[in-house]
Amino acid sequence: MTGLCTGLFVKTTYATFDIAEYLDNDEVIAEYLSVAAANKNPDVFIAAIGDVAKAKHSDNVNEDDAFF
């Protein structure tokens, strides 16, 4: 987080949050999907599945990079 002074106002910027970065083991993923499935809005669960897929894809990419 950084603040830039521009006259009387300070503009604050934040890093982008990506939940997929924190879905790093099966126990965390199971709990995340369980909480998402409990939500009455089905779009929450669908988005959670996408987050898990992104996390799993990142894991596979990192594993593949280790061999080069």
**Residue-wise pLDDT tens digits, 16-41:** 999 999 999 999 999 999 999 999 99
The pLDDT value given to residue 8:
76
The pLDDT value given to residue 39:
98
- Give the count of beta carbons closer than 10 Å to the beta carbon of residue 23: 22
% of residues, the chain, pLDDT over 70: 76
Q: pTM for the whole thing?
A: 0.69
Closest C-alpha to 32, from 52, 53, 62: 52
The pLDDT value given to residue 58:
77
68 pLDDT band (50/70/90 cuts)? Answer: very low
The pLDDT value given to residue 67:
47
Closest C-alpha to 1, from 19, 20, 10: 10
**Coil, strand or helix at 12:** strand
